[in-house]
Amino acid sequence: MVTSSLAGIAPNPFDPVYSASKHAIIGLVRSLAPALTESGVTINAVYPGFVDTPMLAGIRDHVLRHHLAIADPDEVADAVQAIVRHGATGEAWVVQAGQPPEPVTFPAIDLMTRRLTGENDPT
């Protein structure tokens, strides 16, 4: 399990470098998952919102003043256990205070080249 932040899923104009590093985790997890599957290893990312940890101490009052949810660390731990039990791999999961973990839905993209029959067909 890899830990990121909601800043990896949503825009964060206040700290774009932090947000970019968290966005990168999605690409890492989704790209590693297929290679690790052959060896039976699963990898997922958890994207918590604000969590009541020492990292939040300096902005806790600001977060509360703006009525933003703050999760207890135990909620995140419970969510991680639920995600592991789910058994999937290569997924990103949002974890918000008072809500069950929820996977992020990504569009299906086919990267294979398609040739149109008869058009520029060298055969």
Residue 40 gets the label, from left (phi > 0), alpha (psi -120 to 50) or beta, of left
Beta-sheet pairing, 92-95 with 102-103: antiparallel
Per the CB < 8 A criterion, the answer to whether 9 and 21 are in contact is no
What amino acid positions are annotated as catalytic residues?
18
User: Comparing C-alpha atoms, which of 59, 54, 32 is closest to residue 45?
Assistant: 32
Q: What is the DSSP string of 51-72?
A: ESSGGGTTTHHHHHHTT--EE-
